[in-house]
Every structure is written in structure tokens, then in C-alpha cells.
């Protein structure tokens, strides 16, 4: 049973033929990287070409992983507190120096070496390729909602959730020195940050423009010396890129919390000595009451579901043979991502997943990990 619950997602959905066990089914193996490769490569600017005005100090401090710079795939045992040879853990995050994600990575792994990546997928591939030890990536925000891209990437890649961290995000309105609020016509930031500050930005009458990350917006405003454009970013980004803080805490609610997942190549051993969460993804046949029956396996055992997220499965004629244009209304089939408060070391959790497996056409455990119970 343990092997069947931890195997890779069954495919196609119409088949229950057991898949070949993945490495997570087997006893942990200690396989060291043949060598550590530098995985820093300056990212091409999201906003166009930048000249030498970047400044050597900022460029060297803010090198970014790109997908082209990743080494070949290697494997490594997880390292709890340090990287190879006792060096600090290398922890990937999405964005530039000064991004909120960098602060979250440092909160998750104090004394780590944060490694900026240009895209979420780059961070996944950096961990898989053994360029870094961990990744810390956002999965949901209390104001902006779920980060759907990372839900999809969890399914595409073979990483394991080994922890979570809740980080209180405090947004600032930044501009070049001497620029006043009344001078601004537009503001740049990540789409999530713009959504989290919607009321404030609307009140100020600013046109919102979405870019790849908050710190990148601050860097662009600084490098281009823009006088009619501000950025929504962190106070750390203001210090790094030499911008003034025109307003602090501009998010729409004082409690603006982003939940980040800590990802590794290998799962951790679940325990019962502290509160644990388990994250899974599953699919079901269509029919009345099927989802109700699936969720009831947790309610019957007093297991609290903290989140459920549905994502459409990619449609293909191979997966759904015989479906023509007249049947397109039936082409929406869903995956369900769920988090529940229990450890896979508990009998109740095991039995719940045993019953769920009987109903599900596919089931994959994404991770069983310590819950973040800290007060913000």
C-alpha cells in the first residue's frame, strides 16, 4: 500500500495499471553530485536591453538563474542544514535581489545562500539538476489567491514538498529620488503585488503594468531613471536600487500573508512529534456525489482539510479517445489538489488515502511535512 500511494501520478486516467515505482518508493540513496557547478548567469532584462548603468555591485549581487544555464540532471540526498561540504544551503527563489521571495527563503532557511531565478520553472529545474539544494516558492496569498503556475509545475516536476513558510508581505510604493506621488502616472510590479494593492493604486489613479517580479520593477525604474513611473516592491528593494519609499504598507489589508512551499529532491520522513500537513493531487471519474465521497474519507476520520484547489487537465484525443467537436462540452476533466492536517505517519491518514485510492483514477502524494504554526 505504501508504495502505491507514493508512486508517480497514474497515466492515462482511464487506466489503473500500476506505474513503475519512482525513487520515492525505494530506500533513500546517498548519491552525491559529481561536482558543483556555478549556476549564476545574468538574466536578460525583462524590460529590454540595459547598459552598463546597472552598476557592477548590483550585477554581481543579483545574478539570476536562467533555464539555459542549468547543468545536466544529477541526484543528491537531502541536506538538512547545510549544502555540499558543509557550505550554506543554496536556496532558489523567483525574482531578483530584494524580492519578497528572497526574504521568505531566508526565513525558511536562515544563513542560506539565496539564488535568484528568472522564472518559477527555472527554480524547479535548478533543484532537479542539483544546482541548488532547495527551492522556496509561493503557492497562495491571503489577498491575491492561489499561484496557479506553481500548482501546475508541482505536477510536471518530481520534487517533494518538505516544508511550508508563511511570510507577511509588506508592499511599498517606490520611486526615484526627488519624485513625488503626484508626479506618478503608472506603476510597475508583479501581477500578484498589483492585485494585493488594488485599492491604494486605484485611489492614486495610477495605471498598473505587470512585470515578472517586484524587485525587477524597482530595478527597472532605477536604471531608466523614470520620473513618471513607480514600483510596488519591498523596502529592501528600495535600499538595493537606491529608490525613495513614497508610501509603506500599501497592501489592501494589513494582514497580507503569502504561503511558500519548501521543495527538495527527496521527501522527508513524516513524524508525529509535531503538527504535520500532507499535500496530495488526485483525479476522479465523473458522476454525482463522487467528489463528496472522496472528501468524506477525511471527514470520517476527523482529518481537517485546509485547502482544495481544482485545475483542468490538459485535453488530448489520446487521453479521451472518441471525443469530437460535438463533445467538447465534456472535455473539462479536473485534478484536485488538497492539503490536510495529518502526517503520513498516522494510521488515520494512511487509511483515508487507502479509501481515496479506491475512488480515484490517479493519486500522488506531493509531500508530508511540518506545518508552519508560527504567529505572524
> CA 258, CA 138: separation in Å to the nearest integer?
7
Element (H, E) at 221: helix 214-223
Q: Give the other-Cβ count within 10 Å of 29's Cβ.
A: 10
> Is position 258 annotated as part of the catalytic site?
yes
> Is position 260 annotated as part of the catalytic site?
yes
Element (H, E) at 293: helix 290-299
Catalytic residue from among 122, 214, 258, 278? 258
Bridge partners for 186 per DSSP: 207, 229
Short-list 165, 126, 144, CA closest to 210:
144
> CA 292, CA 271: separation in Å to the nearest integer?
29
> CA 176, CA 367: separation in Å to the nearest integer?
44
302: phi > 0 → left, psi -120 to 50 → alpha, else beta; which? left
259 Cβ contact partners less than 8 Å away, ≥ 6 residues apart: 138, 139, 140, 141, 164, 165, 166, 167, 372
Catalytic residue from among 260, 276, 282, 340? 260
Residues with catalytic roles:
258, 260
Amino acid at each position: 500500500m505504501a508504495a502505491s500511494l507514493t508512486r508517480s501520478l497514474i497515466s492515462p486516467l482511464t487506466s489503473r495499471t500500476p506505474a513503475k515505482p519512482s525513487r520515492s518508493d525505494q530506500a533513500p540513496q546517498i548519491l552525491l553530485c559529481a561536482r558543483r557547478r556555478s549556476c549564476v548567469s545574468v538574466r536578460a532584462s525583462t524590460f529590454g536591453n540595459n547598459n552598463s548603468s546597472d552598476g557592477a555591485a548590483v550585477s554581481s549581487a543579483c545574478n539570476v538563474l536562467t533555464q539555459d544555464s542549468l547543468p545536466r540532471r544529477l541526484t543528491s540526498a537531502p541536506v538538512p542544514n547545510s549544502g555540499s561540504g558543509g557550505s550554506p544551503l543554496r536556496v532558489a527563489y523567483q525574482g531578483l535581489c530584494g524580492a519578497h521571495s528572497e526574504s521568505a527563503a531566508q526565513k525558511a532557511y536562515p544563513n542560506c545562500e539565496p539564488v535568484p531565478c528568472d522564472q518559477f520553472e527555472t527554480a524547479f529545474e535548478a533543484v532537479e539538476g542539483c544546482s541548488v539544494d532547495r527551492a522556496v516558492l509561493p503557492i497562495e496569498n491571503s489577498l491575491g489567491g492561489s499561484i496557479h503556475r506553481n500548482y501546475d509545475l508541482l505536477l510536471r516536476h518530481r520534487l517533494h514538498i518538505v516544508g511550508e513558510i508563511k511570510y507577511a508581505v509588506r508592499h511599498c510604493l517606490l520611486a526615484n529620488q526627488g519624485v513625488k506621488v503626484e508626479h506618478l502616472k503608472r506603476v510597475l510590479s508583479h501581477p500578484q503585488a498589483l492585485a494585493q494593492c488594488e485599492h491604494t493604486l486605484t485611489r492614486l489613479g495610477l495605471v498598473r503594468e505587470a512585470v515578472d517580479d517586484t524587485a525587477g520593477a524597482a530595478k527597472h525604474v532605477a536604471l531608466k531613471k523614470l520620473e513618471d513611473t513607480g514600483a510596488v516592491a519591498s523596502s529592501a528593494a528600495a535600499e538595493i536600487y537606491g529608490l525613495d519609499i513614497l508610501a509603506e504598507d500599501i497592501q489592501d489589508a494589513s494582514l497580507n500573508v503569502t504561503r511558500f512551499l519548501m521543495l527538495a529532491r527527496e521527501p522527508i520522513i513524516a513524524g508525529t512529534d509535531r503538527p504535520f500537513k500532507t499535500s496530495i493531487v488526485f483525479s476522479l471519474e465523473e458522476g454525482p456525489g463522487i467528489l463528496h465521497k472522496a472528501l468524506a474519507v477525511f471527514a470520517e476520520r476527523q482529518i481537517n482539510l485546509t485547502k482544495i484547489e481544482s485545475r483542468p487537465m490538459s485535453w488530448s484525443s489520446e487521453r479521451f479517445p472518441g471525443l469530437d467537436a460535438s463533445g467538447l462540452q465534456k472535455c473539462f476533466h479536473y485534478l484536485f489538489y488538497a492539503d490536510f492536517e495529518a502526517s503520513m505517519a498516522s494510521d488515520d491518514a494512511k487509511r483515508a488515502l487507502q479509501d481515496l485510492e479506491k475512488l480515484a483514477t490517479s493519486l500522488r502524494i506531493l509531500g508530508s511535512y511540518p506545518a508552519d504554526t508560527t504567529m505572524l
